[in-house]
Structure 1
Amino acid sequence: MAHLSDSPVERARFICIYPAYVNSKKTIAEGRRIAIEKAVPNPTCAEIQDVCEVVGLTTHIENKTFTREGNRDVQFRGRVRVQLKLQDGSPCLAQFPSRKSIMLYIAEMIPRLKTRTQKAGGGEQSVQQGEGGKKGKKKKK
């Protein structure tokens, strides 16, 4: 974390992104900041960091808990600091002029990660779908 000093000028160049900001399982009141159609289910700090670093953004993971997160488990902890601006105030990357543009990019790219595509193609998904169908049938009786 040598790049991130405690001066207000330095910190202003970095934005915080909590996984809840792009989580489709959260409501606006619970902290989601983008449209639910564009959000991704249960993103992690590591996934957010991977997506940002691939495109060339500077990131740091911090072990902080989102204030609106009711669950204190380790998997729900963490935030990612992403460098949005250079010292002169211009965006680090022209394609990301705002924090919202970064959040939308993150939500678009996380489903394309290998860890996500391998999980979706595995047998787990069909098992979950099968269970869901059974539960629905029980309720109808």
Structure 2
Amino acid sequence: MDKKKILQIVLPSIVIGIICIVGGIKLHDWYIWHAPAYNSNEKQVLLSSKIDKLTDEQKNAFWEYAHAVAHSEFKVDDENVANEDIEDESLLVEKSNKKHKYDISYVCKVKTSDTTIKCSSKFTLETHSSLKDDEFKYSNFFH
């Protein structure tokens, strides 16, 4: 075979290989960060003490959302409470029967300079299809 035929075979193979690698990386990134059942109207538990249907990245994202809501609602940024004074107890993530919404139950202990308070909260979380995005809305908060 001459060099021209080899080049005609090798060059397209390299291009196809690069496209497959880049596409695979994008698909993997989408899979690990995609909000589970995002467009579903079916209620289902995604994370509890007995059920775990989330990737590690998805689980960490929901914990971060719960922390952010707790910081906001419990006024954790007060000078009496530091971030390391919050101890996680439990997290329940349930896909609600509305598209793009999740019902979250979060329990933690907040230590102040003179006492420890157990905080239990529930709220509805609305996020984008990618949990990698830091933007979210929450509503129906109560504790």
Regarding TM over 0.5, the answer is: no
> Quick check: which one's strand share is greater?
2
Q: With the length of structure 2 as denominator, give the TM-score of the two structures.
A: 0.31
Highest relative contact order (Cα 8 Å, sep 6+), 1 or 2?
1
Q: With the length of structure 1 as denominator, give the TM-score of the two structures.
A: 0.31
Which of the pair has more CA radius of gyration?
A: 2
